[in-house]
Chains A and B, each alone.
Chain A
Amino acid sequence: MSRVTRVHLKIGNLRQIVPEMFQFAFDTAKKGTIAESASVSMTFVPAKAVCRTCGREFIVEDNFFICEGCSGIDVDVIEGKELLIDTMEGE
């Protein structure tokens, strides 16, 4: 690949990433590189937790980390902290 045309990122909702700022940083950093003309796109991954008490997996909404099944508080976050380069396109 000699030229990158698109970069796709996966970003967990729990990461404090502001898309507009990320876009700006990307556009600044890419100058003079093989990604100079690349666009960036982002998919945001919802926060997901698993309850250690009842085993239920649930999507965390509004930062409410309590099991929606048994109201258990012993929960582990299993998704939502990603900060990944998922795919790249180029020629």
Chain B
Amino acid sequence: MEIKVIKNILDACEGQAQQIRDHLKEKHVLMVNLIGSPGSGKTTLLEKTLATLKGRFSIAVIEGDVATDKDAVRLQKYDIPIALINTDGACHLEPITIRKALDEFDLDRTDIIFVENVGNLVCPAEFDIGENCKIAISSATEGHDKPEKYPLLFNECRLVVLNKIDLIQFTDFDKDYYISSVKKLNGRVPVLEVSCRAEQGLEGWIDWLADSVSEVKKS
């Protein structure tokens, strides 16, 4: 006997993610899911962002790490709500843990939630956590072949932040190749060239965030 099932294996997970998305929409909160390799500059980007935007927007951060509170500690000085998720080995965040983290925030007084996903270009791209959008952060020192090697993330994301552009001169990084690889995967996605450490190009990122917050407030 054969029966037709047609059941999405990720139903439960995607259902949870949709509930989160609906809840955040109701509260007019922008949630962005930052995905990049270990060392690509996710936490540094957050540090620079918090230094610039604190006071202008009310911001909260969900820090996902396999182990330690090192990233959360780095952000403590900005005096914002931070929820730390230690995955104890898991390579990505899932909606069930995001939901618990959200309970720690006052969403009526929050404009932006940054989720710093576990440093990994593979699994975080697969899992919907109820975010408004995924953002890929990659750095010049990782090499220009990363979009081709990890296509799903670059296809799924709504923005690419290319970090460490100040170091390109010390590497064989081919920026044109990198950008054309991104565009083949995702022709609509903007690529922002920044150096978090040298504070170059961050205006574009700040403007993008401000525009995204206004869109969410209007919706």
Contacts and interface: CB of A to CB of B under 8 A. Distances in A.
Contact of B183 (A15, A73, A77, A82): A73
Interface residues of B, number: 24
A78 interface: no
A14 interface: yes
A87 B5 contact: yes
B1 A1 contact: yes
Interface in B53-81: none
Nearest to B2: A89
Interface string A53-91: 000000000011110000011110100001111111111
A87 B10 contact: no
Nearest to B9: A83
B185 A75 contact: no
Contacts of A63: 148, 151, 155, 184-185
A74 B188 contact: yes
Nearest to B184: A64
A33 interface: no
A87 B8 CA distance: 12
A83 B183 contact: no
A34 to B, nearest CB: 13
A66 B184 contact: yes
A91 B2 CA distance: 9
Contact of A86 (B1, B5, B151): B5
A1 B1 CA distance: 8
A14 B188 contact: no
B126 interface: yes
Given A1-B1, A1-B3, A63-B148, A16 B187 contact: no
Given A66-B187, A74-B187, A77-B155, A84 B9 contact: yes
B138 to A, nearest CB: 16
Contacts of A16: 122-123, 125-126, 152
A14 B187 contact: no
Contacts of B9: 9, 83-85
Contact of A83 (B5, B10, B185): B10
A84 B6 contact: yes
Contacts of A66: 183-184, 187
B183 A87 contact: no
Contacts of B2: 87-89
15 contacts: A14-B155, A16-B126, A63-B151, A64-B184, A66-B183, A73-B183, A74-B188, A83-B8, A84-B8, A85-B9, A87-B2, A87-B3, A88-B2, A89-B1, A89-B3
Given A16-B123, A90-B3, 17 more contacts: A1-B1, A1-B3, A9-B9, A63-B148, A65-B155, A65-B184, A65-B187, A73-B188, A84-B8, A84-B9, A85-B9, A86-B5, A87-B2, A87-B3, A88-B2, A89-B2, A90-B1
